[in-house]
Amino acid sequence: MAYQASVQVPGDQTTYAISPNIKKYSLIDLGFEQTRQGNYKYTGSLDRTNPFKPAAKLQITVNAELTGFKMDTVSANGLRKINIFTGPRSEEFVTQYHFILDEMVAREILTKVS
């Protein structure tokens, strides 16, 4: 999947885009790690009951130029994309998902498009 200016996670009604005010230090402050290619990757637990062995994770990768990103909700091992908006624990996962993304909007990493 190529880096995009805006992304909508399957099941979510909101589309997110890279903020024009994004800064590298803000990414690092929120837990993004720089990869060997120079990109910034974030992996956050969506499981509030067991954050060290989560059932679902949020993965965000921002390209080195800070112009595009990828965002997915994935399984515990990170290999399979999942829809956190369906299933028995969806309310818990969606609450944590919005908490993380609201912080990224507040820190001007992402913006809400719709």
Closest CA to 75 of 100, 95, 58: 58
Closest CA to 94 of 7, 1, 14, 6: 14
**Buried residues in 36-60 as b, exposed as e (16+ CB within 10 A):** eeebbbbebbbbeeeeeebbbbbeb
Give residue 52's pLDDT. 79
- Cα–Cα distance, 94 to 78 (Å, whole number): 17
Give residue 53's pLDDT. 84
Number of domains in the chain: 1
pTM score, whole prediction: 0.91
- The answer to whether the beta carbons of residues 104 and 30 sit under 8 Å apart is yes
pLDDT < 70: residue spans in the chain: 1
Give residue 20's pLDDT. 94
CATH number at residue 21: 3.30.1820.10
Residue 62 CB coordination number (10 Å): 23
Residue 88 CB coordination number (10 Å): 6
- Cα–Cα distance, 110 to 108 (Å, whole number): 6
Give residue 1's pLDDT. 62
Which tokens go with 73? 């909700």
Give residue 30's pLDDT. 94
Give residue 50's pLDDT. 80
Give residue 49's pLDDT. 83
Instruction: Write out pLDDT tens, residues 74-89.
Output: 998 888 999 999 989 9
For residue 39, the enclosing domain spans: 4-110
